[in-house]
Structures are given as C-alpha cells and as structure tokens.
Structure 1
C-alpha cells in the first residue's frame, strides 16, 4: 500500500492483547479459507483459483476495515484506492504460529502474484495474528526488512516489495523539544542512495517543509566531503538525538494485526513519479495539520 525506503531505519496498545475473534469468516467472494499450514499438495495452480477481493477470516476483515478507513478512506494512497476499486486486493490469514509458517505463505503468495494472467495492481496482504513474537514491532520489522531476504527465493525477492503494517508501528518521530532550527547535531547522511555508516557534525537549518512534513529535516554539514551534498534532507531518525513524540504519520501503517503487504515491482514501476511525489507532499501537509486530535475526530465516524 505504501512503498518504503528500506535504507531509512526507524504507542498504541496492541489489539493482539485483547480477545481474539473467530477465524471462520468468509467473504461473499470466497467460501474457503486459506492457511499457511495447508497440505503441500495445495500448489500454486490451486492458489491462483482464489479470487481477488478475498477476505478469509475475521482477522483479515478487521485489517480490511482499517485499510478502508485509513490509507484508502483518507485518500492517503491513490494506488491502493485504484487497486481496491478494481477488486484486486487480497486479504489472507496465516493460521500458523511459527515464522516458518508465515514464510511458506509469503512464498506461495509471491508465486501466485507472479503467475500468468494476473491483472495489474493485484496484491496480497498476509495477516499474521498468531505469531506471539511478532507482537513486538521491532522483531516483526526486522523480519520484514532482513529476515525475508534470507527466507524467500531470490528470483521472487527481485520482483516483489514487502511493506510492514503493525498495531505498534512507530518509525517517524518529531524532534524533541530542545532540538530546533540552529541546533548542532550528529547525523548520518545519504550518498548515491545509501545511508552512511557513520555520523558527522551538522546544523539543522529547517525543521519541517511541505514535501516531508516533520519526517525529515534539512541539515548543513560542517565538513566538506567529496561526493556528499553539503546540505541534505535527512529522516529525523538519522539524527543522533533522543526521540521526540511519535508522529501521526505512523497511523498509516498501524493495522490491527501484524500484516505484510506484497506488491509487485512491475506495478510500482508503472506509477507516475510526479504523481507519487505530489501525493507524498499532500499527505505530509495533511498529517501535520491534522495531528493526533484531528485524526481521532476523523476516525470516530469511520471505524
């Protein structure tokens, strides 16, 4: 639903701690439920017969309700809106309790999405409510950004993007109150699309802007370095400072259960770059204006 920059590493109470709903729900588009623990004979050809628009459990239904209310309902992701309108989003639940169960399902869904006769903008959201260790967002995030690379076949990885959603998702933070324009900080920098491995001294020259809201700041490095831009916009988490309050932007990824969205790179490549940039700017400004109180007021009538 949202493509993320994996080079940029990063509280609400988890609904996983509440009563767990039944997993017997089936949408009108499919009367059968999918489990990552099903027999090996359930091959890719069988999976391909599953219709898109599938919602295979109450867990998946809750994630769809959240998706309809936040990224789609608030207009934060035009790509997801278009995909949803064409009934090409697939919400499927992993019934297993082991990471290996989730890996098996992710690999199967990748194979299905990359099969023949799959329409553009088709994607899967794999909901994982039963993995106890994934109640911890940091553990879940480490798996999505690092564990998947060593678990899924390389040829599939090169064609797919994996986006994390989690009830405790927290990556973007405001600056702490004692950090402001003119503050001197240690910061990582970006060069050739990569994050540096060490920090350097810099001065903050801008704390928010229309393009990034409060998720990035503009800094000026004190030292010249060949190939490095003297002034850069960097994510706030690249600054070697204490974290401030969690930004409202995080709610865009706070699904009711740990969920991994599988998106084909072919579909992402078809997006218009200028349109994506405009959407990001619009979302940044909207979230900054809304704040937590404004968002809560909006949500009262949506979920």
Structure 2
C-alpha cells in the first residue's frame, strides 16, 4: 500500500522538476534537444524515495531497465529526482561514480549515459557562487538517464554542438537578479 504523504511528496517533487525543466532547461534553451520530447510526453520524471545508496542505485538500475524495455517513441529519457539524500554536492558527486560503474557493469556503455544536476552544482574550475554553475543547478539532486543513440541523432543535425556549454554559460550570466530569483526560487527565494 502506498503512503499518501509519500505520493503527495512525489507529486510535489515531480511538479517542481517539471517546472525547472520547462522554465530553465527548455525556457533558457540550455538543452536544445529537450523541447520536442517534453512536448511529446517522452520524458519521465521518476522520484526516488531512497534514503540509502543501495536503494538509490537499485532505483536508477530499474529506470535504466525501463528505458531498455520501452520503445524510444514512448520514452525518450528519464530524470531521476532524489529529494531525500545526496543533498551535499560532494556526496552526490561521489555517487555519480556508482552510477557510471553500474552502466559499465551492465555493458550499457555507448547505450546510456548520465547527465547530472544538483542544487549546489559546482564545476571543477568554478567558485560556488559563479553564475556558470546555474546551467546544472536543479531543485533536487537529479540523474538524467540519456539514450546515447538519440543524442547522436540530434547532434548530427545541430550546428556547432561543442559551443552549447559556452552559449549556456553566457545565457545564465546575462540573467538579471530578478530573473535568477524567478527561475531558481530554491536558490534565491
């Protein structure tokens, strides 16, 4: 039986992640490939209620299996939101190694990859308050499970994909304080 408060929490978390996806990722065009699958309802937001690393790894594994078993026309990609753990960015960063090891162990290299987002995301060459970190900041720790074949297809038709990170950094650096507060209320609210 499902705990009603847990279900509500899942709905609230999923709504906040979806809002971030619409307003930040798609709204700022940080990922020029996200709008179409979002419009076609091919992005799943899975809220993991895990409170241990083992359980979270199991949830991520099950979401990768689901991607493996579901046609791309029905499910393009999955965002695994983690509201109950990995709030510390360095713990989150260490856990990424487990996810990548899982992908390697299951021989999914070249099939799936993971992109990472966190409320305190900080690039290695940045200071925590640098605006460029906003490109990977999200309301919760998130593991974005990506089909590599789909990514390769869209990159073939996108001019100058290697410029995307620099374009994104310039875009978030140009935001006013009011825009940052509106787009990232969990950071500036």
CA distance in 2, matches of 1:300, 1:257: 16
Match of 2:27 among 61, 64, 73: 73
RMSD: 2.5
In structure 2, the residue matched to 1:297 is 178
2:7 matches 1:24: yes
CA distance in 2, matches of 1:71, 1:168: 16
Q: CA deviation at 1:283?
A: 2.4
Q: Which has the larger radius of gyration?
A: 1
In structure 2, the residue matched to 1:149 is 100
Q: TM-score, normalised by structure 1?
A: 0.52
Match of 1:257 among 140, 148, 154: 140
2:121 matches 1:169: yes
Gaps of 5+ in 1: 1-21, 27-55, 173-236, 238-242
Q: Is residue 120–residue 267 contact of structure 1 (8 Å, CA) maintained in 2?
A: no
CA distance in 2, matches of 1:78, 1:143: 27
CA distance in 2, matches of 1:64, 1:301: 15
Q: CA deviation at 1:244?
A: 5.0
Match of 2:47 among 85, 93, 97: 93
Q: Deviations over 1:131-159 (max 9, x none)?
A: 2xx11101111211x22233343322441
Aligned length: 177
Change (3 A) 1:244 1:300: closer
CA distance in 2, matches of 1:283, 1:135: 24
Where is the helix percentage greater, Structure 1 or Structure 2?
2
Q: CA deviation at 1:251?
A: 1.2
2:59 matches 1:108: no
In structure 2, the residue matched to 1:274 is 159
In structure 2, the residue matched to 1:59 is 13
Q: TM-score, normalised by structure 2?
A: 0.80
2:82 matches 1:128: yes
Change (3 A) 1:105 1:90: same
